[in-house]
Structure 1
Amino acid sequence: MNYGNLSDLGQNMMLRRQGAGLKTTLAKLTSELTTGNKQNLTSHVRGDFGPLAGLEGSLSRLDGFALGRSDLQLRVSGLQTSLAAMQTTVAAFGTDLTAAASLEQPDVLDAKLASASGRMSQVVSFLNTQVSGQFLFSGMATGQAPLVSSEDIMLHINGLAASATDIADFTTQVDAWFQDVGGGFETLVYGGSDQSQSGIAISEQHKIDLPLKADDQAFRAILRDLAVATAISEGTIAVPQDEKRNVLSQVGQGLIASEQALIAMQRDTGVTERLLTEADVAGRVERGILDMARSKITGADPYETASALEAVQFQIETLYVLTARTSQLRLSDYLR
């Protein structure tokens, strides 16, 4: 640097200006080395933000799908847990009733029958399961409980028992009440949506359905059998011992048959879980690729940055030495 033609004030101003510029460059390089990102993107991409904007948009969509999948995985896991618990409850009670009804031991049958009310309460509770504030078996109406309480259901069933002429009439009325379109179950018990959740996007390419609702015919059959057993257990309707064994045997067999429907539901739900897992893995892989592409645009090469930082530090040290020397010049030294 040649300062021979500059005045002392001019030299001082030039040194200060160069020092300020080097400090700015030092701060920029230090930040780039620390964060790994370019400080001046506009200059780096020469004003063309199109590719970067496209990558950011794709990453935002991937993040949205990932968030949605996380919520869905919780709900599907809740469905699977509820179905498994329901299967255990239904299968065990069905087997107990069928076995006890085959014996001519009223005390044994009554002992097995005593848990009917509790079993029904459990099944209703499973169907009213919530995850993250959403009811799992309400279809589209996730904010509404799909079923009223088991006690409320039995109030309606007890009304049927009061008007029935015999046990055969009672079971016929109960069956119609649960199964008929526009019957008591649909109008007085089920509070969910008529539409199931379908076409839920889990990625750009894939969608899934959540078809299970508490008004499914399989669930109605389970509740019907448990309601009949509960009514008999509580003595709501009088039943001769022989007919009692016959009716409860049918109830037990019906519950055992319902277990197969629950197993099929668990199988289908397992397929949905697998699809969610596969979509999650694919999403993470795609995100990694896009992150690398974005890093090539926004990232600062650590080796180049470190080399540039070292060069700037050397320039600053040189400038400090030069500044110190020029500040010590005296007129007497110049005239010698």
Structure 2
Amino acid sequence: MSMNSVGDKSQVFLSLRNNMALKTRLGTLVQELSTGQSSDLVKRLGADQTRLSDVDRQLTLLSGYGRVTTQTAQSLSLMQTTIARTEETRSQLAAQMLTITAEGAVNQNEAAARAARDAMDTVVSTLNLRFSDQSLFAGAAVDGPALASAETIMAELATVTAGATTSADVIAAIDTWFDTPAGGFETVGYLGDTGPAQTRRIDQGTVVALDAKADDPAFRDMFKAVALAAVVAEGALPGDAAAQTELLQESGLRLMASATSLTQLQARLGGIEGRVQDTATRHAARETTLGLIRNDMTSADPFETAAQLEEVQLQLETHYTVTARLSRLSLAEYLR
């Protein structure tokens, strides 16, 4: 009868290997118990690995759509805030212009004209707002400003109204500059994109358009109204106080009328905000559901893991006990 024996060195290496294997298994079980996730998904899932891959793919898509949705919601919120500031400027200036009368003091007219000029600076600066280093009101041309500087716009208006002798002449010149296709405003004042509105895909079947641009009719109407008074501050119709008063009064009437189009623009953006919010809610619900599915597929049974952990701990303790006893063996001990 043959017998297999293990030499001393082999026994040492075998003991070290068993020790390492038990420690590795112990560490794996501790990690599973603390994280709740199985460390061996192949063994855990078997044929369900394809399903897990599909769940992970959907979660990745949702994460991407979620980032776009969040950024879109933030952009829309800032656009609404910007329009609200523009509306506040319009409202304050309109209230001041409506106090202008033919019998009013010259200094009152001058103050109103200066307020209009300041309002032009404010509105242009406001609509040139950038978010994440991109212009919000320039359409697809996000790299540059939506509008030329107020100084540039006013210089152009001063040029086109230079030969005017009546308030009607000034009004016609300003209307033409702002309204003519490929005219002054579109070639000098507005620097953004004139093509279709910028779109964002926030879900597989949902695309929204950020269609509020600085060349929107709502903004143009307000710009024209402000410009009618601002050109007075720049010296339009010099020496004709009556004609200047007519410009200020017309500015006030148009500022009041432009409130409606600004409100409609805000309502349009509000509708888009609602769609984005609904989509974000669906994303969150779907992500939660998929997360629960994935957790159920990959989670380790805590009771089974705890039982295995206790078993491995016992094996490791036994291994250390046996190793300690073997280390004390000697011929003298054996013969004693």
Q: Same fold (TM over 0.5)?
A: yes
What residue in structure 2 maps to residue 252 of structure 1?
Answer: 252
Q: Give 1:298's aligned residue.
A: 298
Whole-Å separation in 1 of the counterparts to 2:14 and 2:232: 103
Deviations, residues 215-249 of structure 1 (Å, cap 9, x unaligned): 11221121122222111123232363333333322
User: The residue matched to 1:142 in structure 2 has which SS?
Assistant: coil
> In the alignment, which residue of structure 1 is the partner of 2:310?
310
Question: SS state of the match for residue 39, structure 1?
Answer: coil
Question: Matched residues in 1 for 2:233 and 2:333: separation?
Answer: 118
The answer to whether the aligner puts 1:324 opposite 2:324 as a matched pair is yes
CA displacement, residues 58-94 of structure 1 (integer Å, 9 cap, x when unaligned): 1111111111122212211110111001001011111
Hey, what does 1:161 align to over in structure 2?
A: 161
Matched residue type, 2:246: N
2:109, 2:156 → 1: CA distance?
A: 25
Deviation at 1:51, TM superposition (A): 1.3
The CA deviation at 1:131 is 0.9
Matched, 1:178 2:178: yes
1:210 aligns to 2:210 (yes or no): yes
Count of residue pairs the alignment pairs up:
333
Q: Which amino acid in 1 is paired with 2:130?
A: Q
The question of whether the paired residues in 2 share the 8 Å contact of 1:232 and 1:239 is answered with no
Percent identity reads 32
Counterpart in the other structure of 2:285: 285
Give the direction of change, closer, same or farther, for the CA distance of 1:179–1:334 in structure 2 (3 Å limit). Answer: same
Describe the shift of the 1:17–1:113 C-alpha distance in structure 2 as closer, same or farther (beyond 3 A).
closer
Identify if the C-alpha distance between structure 1 residues 192 and 50 changes in structure 2 by more than 3 Å, giving closer, same or farther: same
How far apart are residue 335 of structure 1 and its match?
Answer: 7.0
Where 1:46 maps in the other structure, the secondary structure is helix
Query: Where do 5+ consecutive residues of structure 1 fail to align?
Result: none
Give the aligned partner of residue 119 of structure 1: 119
The TM-score, its normalising length taken from structure 1, stands at 0.89
User: How many angstroms apart in 2 are the aligned matches of 1:204 and 1:279?
Assistant: 11
State the Cα deviation string for residues 143-169 of structure 1 (Å, max 9, x = none).
121211111111111111222243322
**SS in structure 1 at match of 2:209:** strand
2 CA distance for matches of 1:30 and 1:127? 58
Q: What residue is the counterpart of 2:61 in the other structure?
A: 61
CA contact (8 A) 1:114 1:233 kept: yes
| 8 Å contact kept, 2:165–2:237 | no
Task: Measure, in 2, the Cα distance between the counterparts of 1:56 and 1:301.
Answer: 21
TM-score, length-scaled by structure 2: 0.89
Letter in 2 for 1:40: D
Corresponding residue SS for 1:238: coil
1:199 CA drift (Å):
4.3
| Runs (5+) with no aligned partner, structure 2 | none
Query: Helix, strand or coil for the counterpart of 1:200?
Result: strand
Following the alignment from structure 2 to structure 1, what is the Cα–Cα distance between the partners of residues 159 and 16?
Answer: 97
Secondary structure of 2:98's counterpart equals helix
Equivalent residues in 2 for 1:211-226 (5 A)?
211-226=211-226
